[in-house]
Amino acid sequence: MTASSSGKGNVCVCDVAARDGLQSEKRIWSVNERVELINRLANTGIQRIEAVSFVNPKRVPQMADAEKVMAQIERKADVRIAGLALNMKGVERALDAGVDEVRYVVVASETFSQKNQGASIAETMTGLESIAGRVKASGKVFSAVIGASFGCPFEGEVTTSAVVDIGIRLGALGVDEILLADTIGCAVPSQVRERVGALQSALEDSTAVGCHFHNTRNTGIANAVAAVESGVRILDASVGGIGGCPFAPRATGNISTEDLVYVLRNMGYETDIDLPQLINVAAWVEGYFDDPLPGQVMKAGLFPDDVIARQAATSVQA
């Protein structure tokens, strides 16, 4: 079924729909609905899920009850469950709730840091040493997301050196993975290649670089391909392409997981994901929305699979 089987290796896809996808939805998903979404995703063979966010429920009511969600989901040995935290309190909650990976967010621009974290860049970086020590002592994976890595909704341009400087400081603290997040979906592929390359050459090999793209300006999949071709092997996406950011004006959804997996599969990369099953999850998610979701493969179908299936059906009839 695979269009290309040149075996280009594994790309780890992390579905963030249960967190980034739902955090700015008008209709607040119940704990049971969030648990079912995570369980359905886990059954597709996906390697990672960003399941919850340990933020103040007064600021982001959609993400309340993270502990209840964590307690109810089915855990699988080969699915890493990540939880997002913005401060030490969130990190402690994440560890108590049993996440496999703590994702800590820093932001590359000062104004967005104030709006998103309620703290300056300096403040988030100051607390980071003790947070890194706490997570590393727990034996869990510690990753850091650099928000607004390609542009800020308030300040505009964010320079490569600003992002690399933060990356170097994170790397020095022993962060396992650094994700460049295009929070407002403004990046283009040439910028991705340049920024990923600069960060990779500034970091030790022990710190992996990942990317998190939003499709706000329809550049998300092109950016993901540029990232993979630059050596990135960790990519975030959200099933159906749902999502946004409550603190970034006009932010829209992540690239859709099934569109990303389709591109990767047909380019010859492995993701371990059962793509038809993932499309079924996207269709299930769509049932909770009034409008069609942004994902396109869920509408168009797989290629060449659908063609092969149609040919088989025709030949049976003949």
**Separation CA 318–CA 309 (nearest Å):** 14
Locate tokens 């913005």: which residue? 86
Specify the stretch interacting with Zn ion by CB under 5 A; choose among 5-13, 20-28, 46-54, 186-194.
20-28
Verify cis geometry, omega within 30 degrees of 0, for the bond prior to 294: no
| Catalytic sites, residue numbers | 245
Q: Binding mask 211-230 vs Zn ion (x if CB under 5 A, - otherwise)?
A: --------------------
* Amino acid residing at 86: L
**Residue 205: CB minimum distance to Zn ion, A:** 26
Candidates 12, 19, 20, 295: give the one binding Zn ion (CB under 5 A). Answer: 20
- Closer Cβ to Zn ion, 45 or 246, answer by number: 246
In angstroms, give the least distance from the CB of 305 to Zn ion: 30
- What is the helix (H) or strand (E) element at residue 169, kind and residue range? helix 160-172
Q: Shortest Cβ distance from residue 76 to Zn ion (Å)? A: 24
Handedness of CA 274, 176, 236, 308 (dihedral sign): negative
Binding region for Zn ion (CB under 5 A) out of 16-24, 38-46, 104-112, 308-316: 16-24
Vertex 205 angle, CA 11 and 231, to 5°? 35
For Zn ion, the closer CB: 207 or 254: 254
Closest to 148 measured CA to CA, from 136, 163, 137: 163
Please identify, using beta-carbon distances, which residue of 20 and 258 lies nearer to Zn ion: 20
**15 in contact with Zn ion (CB under 5 A):** no
Per DSSP, the three-state class of 28 is coil
* Beta strands in 176-309, from DSSP E residues, in sequence order: 177-182, 208-213, 234-237
By CB under 5 A, the count of residues binding Zn ion is: 1
Nearest distance, CB of residue 6 and Zn ion, angstroms: 31
Residue number closest to Zn ion, CB atom: 20
Which is closer to Zn ion, CB of 20 or CB of 286?
20
Give dist(CA 245, CA 216) in Å, integer.
11
CB of 18 to Zn ion, least distance (A): 13
Footprint of Zn ion on this chain (CB under 5 A)?
Answer: 20
